[in-house]
Amino acid sequence: NAGVTQTPKFRVLKTGQSMTLLCAQDMNHEYMYWYRQDPGMGLRLIHYSVGEGTTAKGEVPDGYNVSRLKKQNFLLGLESAAPSQTSVYFCASSYTGLDEQYFGPGTRLTVT
């Protein structure tokens, strides 16, 4: 039981490049989330999903897209990376919208 895993762990991008972050969970959770964490700002919700095939915008969705084609996977895409997207990205999952969230280990992204 791996819990929530994220790939890659680290990435450096140049401005304008694209990439996809992968999140996978093996707990059969319905809800999945993508957050970014910046110094002094706490975690901010980018996008979330309440089930396979669904996605919704969170607090800071601009510049990101997501897909949930399979229940266990939640992908976060950056189409044209900007330096403002330099951050630590955490994926999380939960069984319902009110339950404890389980977090992945994070992806450290630097955009130069």
Partner 1 sequence: RKEVEQDPGPFNVPEGATVAFNCTYSNSASQSFFWYRQDCRKEPKLLMSVYSSGNEDGRFTAQLNRASQYISLLIRDSKLSDSATYLCVVRGYSSASKIIFGSGTRLSIRP
Give the residue with the Cβ less far from partner 1, 83 or 97.
97
Contact criterion met (CB below 8 Å) for 93 and 102: yes
Judged by CB, which is closer to partner 1: 75, or 90? Answer: 90
Residue closer to partner 1, measured from CB, 17 or 102:
102
Q: Which residues lie near partner 1 (CB under 8 A)?
A: 31, 33, 35, 40-45, 48, 50, 56-59, 90, 96-98, 100-101, 103-106
Nearest approach in angstroms of CB 39 to partner 1 is 9
What minimum distance in Å lies between the beta carbon of 16 and partner 1?
28
Nearest-approach distance from CB 25 to partner 1, in angstroms: 13
